[in-house]
Structure 1
Amino acid sequence: MVVSIRQWFGRLVFVLLFMLLTMIAFGGYRWLIDVVAPVDPYREPHGRALKVSGTLQTPDESTMSDRLRWFYWYGE
């Protein structure tokens, strides 16, 4: 069995280059996500925008048909 130093060196260079390029691509993707993604999507809105959250106030004695009627009427 003949062990070629040149072949092993080529394989080592390939693996090191592959790992380096993988880390560069991963870092680039993380950087791109940080640039594109909003900082805090749950912050208070600015300007005339309203932050709407909560439940619809319905009577306590609501039936399933009443709830469906509310759902289809208001789209909630």
Structure 2
Amino acid sequence: MIVSVRKIAQRFKLILLFVALTVCLYQLLALAQPWIKPVDRYREPTGRAVKVFRDEAVREEQLTMGERLKRFYWYGQ
């Protein structure tokens, strides 16, 4: 079996280039992370919007299986 040092060097250069580009892309995404971060879903709404919350008076543990299924189909959740 013949081992070519030139081919090994070329493959090493390719792997090194791949790792360097991967690190550069990671750093670029880390810099852009605050810009692409999702908006806080639980902030106070502005304008005429109304914040909706769950009614804690009826707990899901107290519902029967039929009631839970009916609510699933009614609300689509």
So what's the TM-score if we normalise by structure 2? 0.51
Q: Distance in 2 between matches of 1:71 and 1:11?
A: 56
Specify the alignment match of 1:51 in structure 2.
Answer: 51
Q: Which has the larger Rg?
A: 1
Count how many residue pairs are aligned between Structure 1 and Structure 2.
72
Determine what percentage of the aligned residue pairs are the same residue: 43
Q: Distance in 1 between matches of 2:11 and 2:42?
A: 49
Supply the AA of the counterpart residue of 1:8.
I
Q: Which runs of 5+ in 2 are unaligned?
A: 59-63
Supply the AA of the counterpart residue of 2:10.
G
Specify the alignment match of 1:19 in structure 2.
Answer: 19
Q: Distance in 1 between matches of 2:73 and 2:3?
A: 76
Supply the AA of the counterpart residue of 1:55.
D
Supply the AA of the counterpart residue of 2:18.
F
Supply the AA of the counterpart residue of 2:8.
W
Q: Measured at CA, do residues 12 and 64 of structure 1 come closer, stay the same or move farther in structure 2, by a change above 3 Å? A: closer
Supply the AA of the counterpart residue of 1:54.
R
The Cα of 1:28 is off from its aligned counterpart by: 4.7
Alignment of 1:1-76 (within 5 A): 1-28=1-28, 34-55=34-55
Segments of 4+ moved more than 2 angstroms: 20-39, 63-76
RMSD: 3.9
Cα displacement string for residues 20-58 of structure 1 (whole angstroms, at most 9, x for unaligned residues): 223334445565664334242211112222211121757
Q: Measured at CA, do residues 19 and 64 of structure 1 come closer, stay the same or move farther in structure 2, by a change above 3 Å? A: closer
